[in-house]
Chain A
Amino acid sequence: MGELRIAAQSLKMSVRSRMQYRVDALVATIAVFVRESANIIVIYLALLKFDVINGWNVNELLFLFSILFLTYAIVVSLFADLRDFSRMIREGRFDRLLVRPRGLLFQLILNNADVIASLGHGLLGILLFVLSAGRVGIQWNLVTILYYTGAIIGGVLIQGGIFIFFSALSFYFVETGSIRSIFYWNMRKFAGYPISIYNRLIQTILIYVVPFAFVNYFPAQYLLRKPDMANYNEAYIYIAPFVGVGVYLAAYLFWRVSVRRYYSTGN
């Protein structure tokens, strides 16, 4: 129970520190929302002209995007410190956690929430879901709702696991920003669209290396059953919610092994 109280307290602190400058926080939230909407607006305008992209219409694409935004909103409210971990090490702030009587990952996950990004992505995700979910022919019943919930949790675990993995790499290399930029941020750019539009190499990376395909593409395929699914193993859509657990556990083990190597940069 104590753990939960700490969690609630620390979330409250994150929100309050961000709300010190109210107007600025509001403008920043709107800015994140607008920035992330740009891709959506562009694909929306494009589909006004072209109707479909590889068989996906505009509502189905919005649905695909909504999963990406909803999961990311949860990811940044939990894993913000792990996203910015190399900076934390450089500034010596990681040392503080070492002397506290709680697990390291537990502290990292609870310590900071990127409230602004979470609100911006979350609001957009909800908006896209509301706009699309009723228009893509999904029968919302107990099974699909359960699957959808599982897929969202799985998507959060996949991205959280990736952040933990890259954080653990900071114990080996001084600068990990660029490798993360290639493998996380760029892959996320790819993931907004049906992966079947890409060449083999990119598809392979999205399925087996940085498994973004299991965050939104395969879960959306379970619910939408678009013809381009014929290119992939049918089993992928059933294991999608569980891939997150595997990725997270693997990242966790890697973290446990790596954290032993830590020597402070300070003093």
Chain B
Amino acid sequence: MRAYVEIAVKKFQDKMAYRLDFFMGIVNTAITIVVYLCIYRALYGNSVEVDGITYQMVATNFVITLGLSNAFGYNEMFLQDKVRDGSITNELLKPVSFIFRLLAENVGEGAFKLIFHFLPALLFTMVHTRLCPPQSALHLLIMFGSVVLGYLILWLLSFIIQTWSFWLFSVWGIITIKNVLVNILAGTLLPLWFMPAALRRLISYTPFEAIYFTPVRIYLGELSGAQLLLGVAVQVIWIAVLGVTANVFWKKGVKKLVVQGG
């Protein structure tokens, strides 16, 4: 465990070295937030609420979701590059589990972005837009836990597709399509409240709803009591299902691995 914490801390420090990246990350996040808040403002026009959802709730959902989705982005071509140039063998020789080592590195990067991209963007938004406060301190606390679970779901989805590099020439296309699905079905761009009913029901059977929307609903107090427990339980179930799947693909892939030359 100590080793993985070290890896995460190292990655965090690595990221600190690139000041320009850091500055650009904030600007890009802030601009995307402005664009979409303008769009939602214009969509709302003069109405105070639509389907019981106020503009303020939409703005809150959007800022949290977008901030998290930016913070949770990382190099998804990592495994493919390692498989292509053969350096994956070095990784396999190391005395740490590759899966947890990669997770630790990505968590370190995510933590960096959360603090240095998301927080400034959040403050920037709060200057010009009023956001909803959390339902209660307890809800806020549970939301933090739920965010971690959401991150694991997203990470496992990505890792499963990355392991396909053992079989495919390039996974770039599939990863791109996966990201589009996440952007739409996890409600990154349009809150799931406004999805057509049939689509919304479909989404509730997929892991997508459990990534961002569950934490947001906990924060807003839409999920309380038994419903809250159910929401978190669904997150845990998805992590178990995806975790087992990821492990199967990884094991099969490593067995199939042939590296030419040396």
Contact = CB atoms under 8 A, between A and B. Distances in A.
Interface of A: 21, 23-24, 27-28, 30-32, 34-35, 37-39, 41-43, 45-46, 48-50, 52-54, 175, 178, 181-182, 186, 189-190, 193, 197-199, 202
Contact of A50 (B32, B50, B176): B50
B174 interface: yes
A32 B44 CA distance: 31
A84 to B, nearest CB: 17
Interface in B21-52: 23-24, 27-28, 31-32, 34-35, 38-39, 41-45, 50-51
Interface of B: 20, 23-24, 27-28, 31-32, 34-35, 38-39, 41-45, 50-51, 169-170, 172-174, 176-177, 179-180, 183-184, 189-190, 194-196, 199
B169 A23 contact: yes
Contact of A54 (B42, B170, B174): B42
For B35, B42, B169, B194, which residue has the most chain A Cβ atoms within 10 angstroms?
Answer: B42
B194 A45 contact: yes
B39 A189 contact: no
Nearest to A53: B42
Given A21-B170, A186-B31, 9 more contacts: A28-B170, A31-B176, A38-B180, A45-B199, A175-B20, A181-B28, A189-B32, A197-B42, A198-B34
A54 B46 CA distance: 11
Contact of B24 (A30, A50, A178): A178
B39 A38 contact: no
B125 to A, nearest CB: 14
**In the complex, the 3 A-B pairs of residues with the closest C-beta atoms, listed nearest first:** A27-B173, A31-B173, A197-B42
B189 A198 contact: no
B176 to A, nearest CB: 4
Give the one of B24, B32, B39, B169 with max A CB within 10 A. B39
- Considering residues B44, B173, B174, which has the most beta carbons from chain A within 10 angstroms of its beta carbon? B173
A38 B184 contact: yes
Contacts of B28: 181-182, 186
Contacts of A24: 169-170, 173
Given A27-B170, A28-B173, A202-B34, A53 B180 contact: no
Contact of B38 (A23, A45, A48, A197): A197
Nearest to B51: A49
A30 B173 contact: yes
Contacts of B184: 38, 41-42
A30 B177 contact: yes
B62 to A, nearest CB: 12
Nearest to B182: A38
B20, B43, B189, B199 — most chain A CB neighbours (10 Å):
B43
12 contacts: A21-B170, A27-B170, A27-B173, A49-B50, A49-B51, A50-B44, A182-B31, A186-B27, A189-B35, A193-B35, A197-B39, A197-B42
A193 B39 CA distance: 8
